[in-house]
């Protein structure tokens, strides 16, 4: 029985939403994408997280067939990106462009729908994007966040299996970002695959099932946010101490770094128990504090140029 289940499952996931192998893309001397392999299953919500210039947009452009890799291959639902787009299986939400200021929100979606042989009703797209109540508003009167939700509504017209968003909330205020992501997330629960690029850690943490950290054109980590946090592994142990043999602490298993300053010792370690035990049993350490790293630390550790 379990074998039957396994084989059924593997057949169902054989067709990746995105399957990219050995992608390379240079602009002159800049190796924008320098060897990226990527497999994304249908239904995943994936964040490409990385600092500016990491290669997120270059990768996304290749997934969308907007540019060709120098090396490597991309398929989207088993097709070339352009074929997948022609079949309405992929839509993109870009940061700018594509909106006519003198139309209303509803007219914009209706116009988009008229371009497709098979389109979802405009009302349904407005509702899914959370902008049904502003259907009569002129585009020019919409806030940045509302315009992004309109682009989202336009992207939904072909009912694509895969939605790709490149830094969709840049420049939005906190409330606009929250409304935008709530609309995306509610929609994604129905099984749509979502890939979004962001340099906001909190956005990746809050809205993605899977985070792919990109740095200098390569994937440096790939996992759930909990897994990414664990990768920049370890904790920080701090304590007040008057006398300490720094080398003894440095020699404890799992210790990465020991710093002693102004009567305070700070230890970065993968084994905080061992450090705490040593400090409390063998030194006069007191006011001991253990903190785990947050996603921001993980992000900085994994994407900094010092690695």
Ligand X SMILES: Nc1ncnc2c1ncn2[C@@H]1O[C@H](COP(=O)(O)OP(=O)(O)O)[C@@H](O)[C@H]1O
Binding site for ligand X (CB under 6 A): 27, 30, 32, 50, 52-58
- Closest distance between ligand X and the C-beta of residue 161, in Å? 24
Which one, 13 or 96, has the nearer CB to ligand X?
96
Angle, vertex CA 128, rays to CA 127 and CA 129, nearest 5: 90
Measured between alpha carbons, how far is 200 from 146 in angstroms, rounded to an integer? 20
Backbone angles phi, psi at 244, to 5 degrees: -150, 135
Which one, 151 or 235, has the nearer CB to ligand X?
151
- Closest distance between ligand X and the C-beta of residue 52, in Å? 4
If contact means CB under 5 to 8 A according to the sort of partner, which of Mg ion, ligand X, none does residue 285 touch?
none
Which one, 50 or 130, has the nearer CB to Mg ion?
50
For position 198 contacting Mg ion by CB under 5 A, the verdict is: no
- Residue 135 structure tokens: 């259907």
- Closest distance between ligand X and the C-beta of residue 60, in Å? 8
By CB under 5 A, which span of 54-62, 96-104, 141-149, 251-259 interacts with Mg ion?
54-62
84 close to 19: Cβ distance less than 8 angstroms:
no
Which one, 49 or 109, has the nearer CB to ligand X?
49
C-alpha dihedral sign at 100, 106, 109, 112: negative
Candidate list 17, 38, 45, 57; residue touching Mg ion; CB under 5 A: 57
Give the β-pairing of 90-93 and 218-223.
unpaired
Half-sphere exposure of 134 (CA within 13 A, CB side): 20
Using CB under 5 A, list all residues that contact Mg ion: 56-57
């Amino acid at each position: 029985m379990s074998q039957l289940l396994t084989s059924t499952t593997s057949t169902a996931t054989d067709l990746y939403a995105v399957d990219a192998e050995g992608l390379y893309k240079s602009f002159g001397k800049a190796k924008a994408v320098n060897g990226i392999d990527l497999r994304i299953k249908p239904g995943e919500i994936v964040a490409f997280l990385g600092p500016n210039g990491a290669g997120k947009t270059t990768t996304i452009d290749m997934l969308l067939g907007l540019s060709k890799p120098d090396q490597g291959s991309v398929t989207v639902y088993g097709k070339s990106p352009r074929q997948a787009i022609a079949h309405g299986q992929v839509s993109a939400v870009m940061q700018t462009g594509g909106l006519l200021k003198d139309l209303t929100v509803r007219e914009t979606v209706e116009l988009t729908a008229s371009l497709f042989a098979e389109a979802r009703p405009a009302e349904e797209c407005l509702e899914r994007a959370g902008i049904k109540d502003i259907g009569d508003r002129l585009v020019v009167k919409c806030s940045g966040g509302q315009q992004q939700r309109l682009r989202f509504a336009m992207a939904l017209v072909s009912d694509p299996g895969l939605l790709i968003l490149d830094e969709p909330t840049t420049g939005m205020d906190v409330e606009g970002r929250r409304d935008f992501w709530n609309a995306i997330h509610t929609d994604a629960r129905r099984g749509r695959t979502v890939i979004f690029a962001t340099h906001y850690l909190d956005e990746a943490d809050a809205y993605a099932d899977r985070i792919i950290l990109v740095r200098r054109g390569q994937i440096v980590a790939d996992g759930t946010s909990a897994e990414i946090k664990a990768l920049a592994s370890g904790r920080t142990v701090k304590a007040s101490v008057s006398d300490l043999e720094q080398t003894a602490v440095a020699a404890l298993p799992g210790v990465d770094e020991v710093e002693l300053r102004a009567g305070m010792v700070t230890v970065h370690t993968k084994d905080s128990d061992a450090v705490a035990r040593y400090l409390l049993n063998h030194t006069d350490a007191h006011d001991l504090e253990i903190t785990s790293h947050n996603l921001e630390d993980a992000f900085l550790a994994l994407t900094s140029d010092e690695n």
